[in-house]
Amino acid sequence: MSGFVFSEKPIQIERGTGPYLYTDDGTEYLDFGASYAVAPLGHSHPAVVDAVQTQVADLTYVQASYPTSVRTETYEKLATLAPGNIDKVWLCNSGTEANEAAMKFARSATGREKIVATKRGFHGRTLGALAMTWKQKYKKPFEPLAGGIEFVDYGDAEQLADAVDDETAAVFLEPVQGEGGIHPAPTGYLQAARDACDDAGAALVFDEIQTGVGRTGLLWASERAGVVPDILTTAKGIASGLPLGATLCKEWIAEDCGNHGSTFSGGPVVCAAANATLDTLVEEDLPANANRMGSYLTSHLRAEHGDDVREVRGLGLMLGIEVKRGANRLLKQLALREQFLALPAGRSVLRLLPPLTIDEEQADEALAALGEVL
């Protein structure tokens, strides 16, 4: 049987524990992709497994217009953990849905249409989020897309300020560009975006779908810059692999967000997984571990392979290794020869997004595998 959309790899995964995945014949793979960062606690973490099993036996699903204690707990946790005075929470099923909601909320709250997004940016594959995504290969077959989008160079504060005017509803930024090649925002750039939005009365939206939940060494990557957006979107690792996204808003956005909804908003089972994930992240201080292990990997990669690659960059455990030859060929060698799984970020970047629980021994295992192909 072949997939309709996804091209399947010749590795059949049957189970996972911590940072390891296992095939049907028992072969062990060190997972430094975490399926695009959806496993911050590693695979099948006991706290998440227990929470999900308990919840599914009590209540599998009820629509979000009926309050449940488990969903209310998720709202409260996210409001508490969000930066600054962001305390309004809308739940959905994925990152692209969270960005679609953010786009709608910003347009409704401001009464404006224009969205400023960045070159190399990636915000999802549904039609609204796709319109804010830069790369043509994702967009071309599905045009026409939503209008009113203007793209600027990522990191150019002056160009951004020029683009944001009294017709702008929102600016969408990733604090670290993920799909675009692992590019952290330059110093001062996020603050410049905040200033431009304040001057124009536009909403500042930080897409923290990949960077959030401790990935970059703090709970939210934007905290490094000390900048609070009007809307923050998150997904991927928030529920340890169960489908959950969230759009977090300030009061002024929430009070005039328009008519929006979702059948599966905040299902009890996924909320139980999210609550266990967030509790474990905080209790075990996994963002700090991401910071330590990210620094460890980065320093060793630069020392041992600085002449073999163009650059090693990123924050925490969101790292990109820009290579001199095709990344996909190296990823195939890593998987089939070294039993090591990573991801691409464009044609020339190896992307590392391991579980935030990895230790020095597993980091050394990763460095050994990378050394064989770099």
- Which residues are the active-site residues? 122, 207, 236
Beta strands in the chain (DSSP E): 13-17, 20-23, 28-31, 88-92, 114-118, 149-152, 168-173, 176-177, 183-184, 203-207, 231-234, 245-249, 309-315, 318-323, 340-341, 343-344, 349-352
Q: Which long-range contacts (CB under 8 A, 24 or more apart) does 192-197 make?
A: 192/157, 192/160, 192/161, 193/157, 193/160, 193/227, 194/227, 194/228, 194/229, 195/161, 196/160, 196/161, 196/164, 196/171, 197/164, 197/168, 197/170, 197/171, 197/230
Task: Output phi, psi for 344, to 5 deg.
Answer: -90, 160
Q: Is 162 annotated as a binding residue?
A: no
Find out whether 74 is annotated in a ligand binding site: no
- Is 28 within any annotated ligand binding site? no
The HSE-up count of residue 41 (CA atoms within 13 Å, CB side) is 24
Contacts 24+ apart (CB under 8 A), 226-230: 226/191, 227/190, 227/191, 227/193, 227/194, 228/83, 228/84, 228/85, 228/86, 228/194, 229/83, 229/86, 229/194, 229/203, 229/204, 229/205, 230/86, 230/106, 230/170, 230/197, 230/203, 230/204, 230/205
| 358 annotated as belonging to a binding site for a ligand | no
Ligand-binding annotation for 263, yes or no, is yes
Residue 125 annotated as binding site: yes
191 labelled as ligand-binding?
no
Q: Any known ligand binding at 210? A: yes
- Establish whether 96 is an annotated binding residue: yes
DSSP 88: E
Per the annotation, where are the binding residues for substrate? Answer: 125, 262
Known binding residues for pyridoxal 5'-phosphate: 95-96, 122, 207-210, 263
Annotated binding-site ranges: 95-96, 122, 125, 207-210, 262-263
